[in-house]
Amino acid sequence: DVKVTQSSRYLVKRTGEKVFLECVQDMDHENMFWYRQDPGLGLRLIYFSYDVKMKEKGDIPEGYSVSREKKERFSLILESASTNQTSMYLCASSVTPRGMDEKLFFGSGTQLSVL
């Protein structure tokens, strides 16, 4: 089975801190994604990557950056955490080549609270 592992299930951070969320997949998938999930708003795409060292903005990239130095690892960075970034963060990967239908495999999520 495909396994997408997020480093933390729960995180509590202070406003202004730099926050790193790590995600690792074990199936050699080319594509990786970061979403945030908020009640009433659904899943919103923050950033995605179709290859190592490659990144593209999703629908809500403001306040976030990403890093993909290795194929299996995709990191989400909050440069200066703010309270409106309190959310459930979901990492996903997919094997489908770019341009075809994506079928996503998700991690279990990181619930981030920014105080």
List of residues contacting other proteins (CB under 8 A)? 4, 9, 40-43, 45, 48, 58, 90, 92, 98-99, 101-109
Q: Which is nearer to other proteins, 11 or 43 (CB)?
A: 43
Q: Which is nearer to other proteins, 21 or 107 (CB)?
A: 107
Q: How many Å apart are CA 111 and CA 3, to the nearest integer?
A: 19
Q: DSSP letters of 11-63?
A: EEE-TT--EEEEEEESS--SEEEEEEEETTTEEEEEEEESSTT--EE-S--TT
| Distance in Å, CB of 16 to other proteins, minimum | 28
> Is residue 77 within 8 Å of 20, Cβ to Cβ?
yes
| Distance in Å, CB of 80 to other proteins, minimum | 27
Q: How many Å apart are CA 102 and CA 50, to the nearest integer?
A: 11
| Distance in Å, CB of 83 to other proteins, minimum | 22
Can you say how many angstroms the Cα of residue 5 is from the centroid of all Cα atoms in its chain? 11
Q: Which is nearer to other proteins, 14 or 100 (CB)?
A: 100
Q: Which is nearer to other proteins, 53 or 103 (CB)?
A: 103
| Distance in Å, CB of 15 to other proteins, minimum | 26
